[in-house]
Amino acid sequence: MAVQLAHRMASIKESEIREILKVTQQPDVISFAGGLPAPELFPIEAIDRVQHLVLQESGTQALQYTTTEGYAPLRHWIAERMNSRLGTDFDADNILITHGSQQGLDLSGKVFLDQDDIVLCESPTYLAAISAFKAYGCRFIEIPTDQQGMDMEALEAALASTERIKLIYVIPTFQNPTGKTWNLKKRQQLAELASKYNVAVIEDNPYGELRFEGEDLPSVRTFDKTGQILCTGSFSKIFCPGFRIGWIAADKELIRKYVLIKQGTDLQCNTIAQMVIAKYLELYDIDEHIQKIVALYKKRRDIALQAIQRYFPENISYTYPQGGLFTWMELPENASARHLLELALQSKIAFVPGGSFFPNNPKENTLRLNYSNMSEERIDAGLQTLGGILKEYLARL
C-alpha cells in the first residue's frame, strides 16, 4: 500500500475473539468463545411494541438528532439505578451515553492517554480494553490478581515507583476473562490509592447485574472522596447487545471533557435506540427480565462446571464464578491453549486462548470458556468432546 498510515496502526492487531467468532457463525460449531448473551431471552415482542409506541408518540424526536450527552430520561434512570444498586451518588448530568461500554474505554484513551503513558491493569484483563488503550500509544503494567482481586501491595509499589501512570483499569465484579470478584476491602483500598497517587480509575461493570449467588458489593466509586473513579456500564448483557447502548459515569467536570471528545467522534448515540430502551424501562419490569437471564445463566454455569469436573483431566484448574459469563482455566505450564484450539476446531469446538488477555507477558497455558450462549445440551456435549481432546493432547506432551 502506497499511502502512509499513522504510527499507531502498527500496534493495532485483529481481535482474536472476533476472528474466532467468524468460525462460530457455522451452525454446527459449539462455541464457548464470545461473551454472547442467550438470544432466546431477547424481549422481541416487547421491543416491537415499544418501538411502535415511541414512533407514534414521539416519532419526530426519535428520528432527529439529540444531544451528545444522550436522552435525558435514560440518563436519569441509569443514575438512579447505579445509586440504588451500587451505592453511588450520581444524577443525570454525571452520565454520558456511549456506544456500548467499549466506546467509554476508547473515549477514556482519548481523554487521558498520551504516547508512552502507563495503564495499570489486572493480570489477565479484558482483551478489548487492551486494544482500546493501546491505540493511543500507552504501555501496560500488569498487577498480580488473586481470588479476591488485585494485589494491593503490588499496586502501591507500582504507583510509588513508576512515572506517567495515567489510568488504572479494573473489572471488580465477575471479571472478564476470569470471572473473579473483588472483595470489599480491596475495593476500598483501590479508591484510597487512586486518591493518594492522583490516578484515575476506570471501573468497568458490564456483568454486575448477573449475580447467581452471594451478596451484591458496592462500586469502588462508593469509596471515592476525590472524584478519581469513573464507571462504565452497558445494556448489552441485561437487555440487548444489538442496540449498542452503554454509558460512562463520572464527576461532571470529567463528563464535559468526554462530551467534547465524543462530539468529534460520532456526535451522539442512536436517538431511537435510547428512546426505545427508556420506554421499555418505563413500561416493563427490567428486574423480572434480569431474573430470567440470571436463572438461565446459573443453570448453564452449573452444567459447565459439572462437565469440567466429569470430563476434564485433574491437572487443570478453573475458577468458580458467582455470576457473569465466563470461567477461566489454567492448563499445565507446558501446554498451549492455542494448539489445543487448533485441535478443538477440527471437532467443531471453539473457545478463546488466554494469552491475548495479558498485555505484556502472555500465559499461553490459559483459556476462557463462556457458558451463556449455548444450550445446556450443547454445553455438556461440547465440554465432553473438549475434555477428551485435552486429555489426548496432554498425554502427548
The x, y and z cell numbers of residue 340, run together, are 489445543
Do 132 and 202 meet the contact criterion of CB atoms below 8 Å apart?
Answer: no
Q: What is the pLDDT of residue 8?
A: 77
> Crossing angle, helix 252-263 and helix 100-112, to 10 degrees?
100
Do 176 and 126 meet the contact criterion of CB atoms below 8 Å apart?
Answer: yes
Cα 127–130–133 angle (5° rounding)? 150
Residue 207's SS3 state is: coil
**In terms of domains, do 247 and 297 share one?**
no
Q: What span, in angstroms and rounded, lies between the C-alpha atoms of 174 and 358? A: 17
Kindly tell me the burial class for residue 359, based on how many C-beta atoms sit within 10 Å of its own C-beta (0-12, 13-18, 19 or more). buried
**In terms of domains, do 76 and 37 share one?**
no
Residues 6+ away with beta carbon under 8 Å from 8: 135, 136, 137
Write phi, then psi, for 185 (nearest 5 degrees). Answer: -60, -45
Residue 337's SS3 state is: helix
Q: Nearest Cα to 344, choosing from 387, 301, 378, 396?
A: 387
Q: Which pLDDT tens digits describe the chain residue by residue (397 residues)?
A: 578 877 777 776 766 665 666 666 778 899 999 899 999 999 999 999 999 999 999 999 999 999 999 999 999 999 999 999 999 999 999 999 999 999 999 999 999 999 999 999 999 999 999 999 999 999 999 999 999 999 999 999 999 999 999 999 999 999 999 999 999 999 999 999 999 999 999 999 999 999 999 999 999 999 999 999 999 999 999 999 999 999 999 999 999 999 999 999 999 999 999 999 999 999 999 999 999 999 999 999 999 999 999 999 999 999 999 999 999 999 999 999 999 999 999 999 999 999 999 999 999 999 999 999 999 999 999 999 999 999 999 999 9
Task: Say if 1 falls within a structural domain.
Answer: no
Q: What is the pLDDT of residue 21?
A: 64
Task: Say if 9 falls within a structural domain.
Answer: no
CATH number at residue 113: 3.40.640.10
Q: What is the pLDDT of residue 239?
A: 97
**In terms of domains, do 261 and 318 share one?**
no
How many Cα atoms sit within 13 Å of 177 on the Cβ side? 30
Q: What span, in angstroms and rounded, lies between the C-alpha atoms of 38 and 240? A: 10
Do 105 and 203 meet the contact criterion of CB atoms below 8 Å apart?
Answer: no
What is the total count of domains within the chain? 2
Task: Say if 364 falls within a structural domain.
Answer: yes
CATH number at residue 322: 3.90.1150.10
**In terms of domains, do 336 and 231 share one?**
no
Task: Say if 389 falls within a structural domain.
Answer: yes
**In terms of domains, do 326 and 222 share one?**
no
Q: What is the pLDDT of residue 2?
A: 76
- For the beta carbon of residue 214, count every other beta carbon within 10 angstroms: 9
**In terms of domains, do 150 and 21 share one?**
no
Is this structure's pTM higher than 0.75?
yes
> Crossing angle, helix 337-346 and helix 376-396, to 10 degrees?
120
* Dihedral-angle region of residue 164 (phi above 0 means left; psi in -120 to 50 means alpha; beta otherwise): left
Q: Nearest Cα to 328, choosing from 359, 291, 358, 286?
A: 358
Please say which residue of 283, 314, 338 terminates a domain.
283
Q: What span, in angstroms and rounded, lies between the C-alpha atoms of 320 and 328? A: 8
DSSP state for residue 93 in the 8-state scheme: G
DSSP state for residue 5 in the 8-state scheme: P
**In terms of domains, do 254 and 299 share one?**
no
**Peptide bond between residue 144 and the one before it cis (omega within 30 degrees of 0):** no
Task: Say if 297 falls within a structural domain.
Answer: yes
Cα 44–95–142 angle (5° rounding)? 95
**In terms of domains, do 57 and 100 share one?**
yes
Q: What is the pLDDT of residue 320?
A: 97
Task: Say if 4 falls within a structural domain.
Answer: no
**Domain extent for 32:** 14-43+288-396
